[in-house]
């Protein structure tokens, strides 16, 4: 696979990085992952303590380096003064980059195909090999217990503390790990080992959307698109299964007045087949080596669509 916009694996220029970030914004819109809202960011290839993300503009309309802002990972503050207005939820990105040094790109989406899995109690799982990165357990993060006193209860990630809570969901802490890190950090000259890799590539946000993390722009775009496709496949499969098999009643049934079932239980017929943990891991291991194939197609699709304009240097050569 071409390393492309992969800051940790090769040195690339900012012109190429900005071009890739603009293109990625267009691709995500063209594939229905982002609409007027949502965003993608990338860690700086020159300074891992900062990241780039478009200003407060609809992803389909971002077009030039002037619309891309560099922020500090530490607190999501702009590196330069007098920059355009930024996204309110840039703390999603800064806190993920802070927690995971190997993450280089983040996508936040409100995709309607994925939203039901954050509010229905039905777990989103890998049903197709293209979405093996979902694994067998996609966490659902609920912001409701993380509002600060006097904050707006609008489900938006408005500050570092709420962003830190979301980022922690990508790698849930265990008590043993927490105790070990505390003991290690207490030793003279020692520091706690960072969590370099998240346990999950995708986290659902209750009533809000989802966020995915990756090692590169291409991988982040691929994961975001196939999270949507996996959700569509699972929803269709569940609907088809329920329509075909229906529901049966198992056990002794006592019917109360009004037709209510007093005892017995409902049983769903038919079984939805999910990827095993091994299948999911190895399927994604194979698929991510071919990300350059769909990336080339997606780039061409937005390149010939007059809605999308990429005025970054070098685009005139495409």
- Catalytic residue list: 89
User: In sequence order, what are the beta bridge partners of 107?
Assistant: 40, 212
Asked whether 5 and 216 are in contact (CB, 8 A), the reply is yes
Coil/strand/helix, residue 236:
helix
DSSP class per residue in 42-104: EE-SS-TTEEEEE-SS-GGG--SGGGEEEEETTT--BSSSSPPP--GGGHHHHHHHHH-TT--
DSSP conformational letter for 261: B
Q: What is the chain's percent helix, strand, coil content, to nearest 5?
A: 40, 15, 45
Q: Provide the token pair at 25.
A: 């914004």
With residue 41 as reference, give the H or E element that holds it: strand 39-43
How far apart (Å, rounded) are the C-alpha atoms in residues 245 and 231?
21
CB-based contact 96:77 (threshold 8 Å): no
């Amino acid at each position: 696979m071409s390393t492309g916009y992969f800051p940790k694996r090769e040195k690339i220029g900012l012109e190429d990085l900005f071009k890739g970030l603009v293109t990625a914004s267009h691709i995500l819109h063209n594939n229905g992952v982002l609409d007027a809202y949502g965003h993608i960011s990338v860690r700086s290839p020159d300074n891992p303590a900062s990241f780039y993300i478009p200003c407060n503009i609809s992803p389909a309309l971002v077009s030039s380096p002037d619309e891309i802002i560099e922020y500090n990972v530490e607190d999501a503050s702009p590196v330069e003064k007098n920059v355009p207005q930024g996204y309110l939820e840039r703390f999603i990105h800064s806190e993920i980059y802070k927690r995971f040094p190997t993450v280089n790109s983040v996508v936040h989406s409100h995709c309607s195909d994925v939203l039901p899995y954050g509010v229905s109690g039905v777990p989103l799982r890998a049903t197709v090999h293209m979405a093996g990165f979902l694994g067998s357990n996609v966490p659902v993060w609920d912001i409701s217990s993380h509002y600060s006193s006097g904050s707006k209860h609008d489900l938006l990630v408005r500050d570092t503390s709420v962003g830190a809570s979301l980022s922690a969901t990508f790698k849930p802490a265990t008590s043993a790990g927490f105790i070990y890190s505390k003991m290690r950090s207490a030793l003279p000259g020692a520091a706690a080992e960072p969590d370099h890799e998240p346990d999950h590539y995708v986290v659902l946000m209750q009533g809000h959307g989802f966020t995915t993390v990756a090692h590169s722009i291409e991988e982040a775009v691929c994961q975001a698109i196939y999270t949507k496709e996996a959700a569509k496949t699972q929803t269709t499969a569940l609907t088809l299964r329920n329509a075909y098999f229906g529901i049966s009643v198992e056990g002794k049934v006592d019917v109360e007045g009004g037709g209510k079932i007093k005892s017995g239980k409902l049983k769903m017929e038919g079984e939805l087949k999910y990827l095993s943990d091994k299948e999911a891991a190895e399927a994604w291991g194979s698929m991510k080596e071919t990300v350059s194939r769909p990336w080339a197609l997606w780039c061409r699709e937005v390149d010939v669509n007059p809605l999308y304009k990429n005025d970054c240097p070098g685009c005139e050569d495409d």
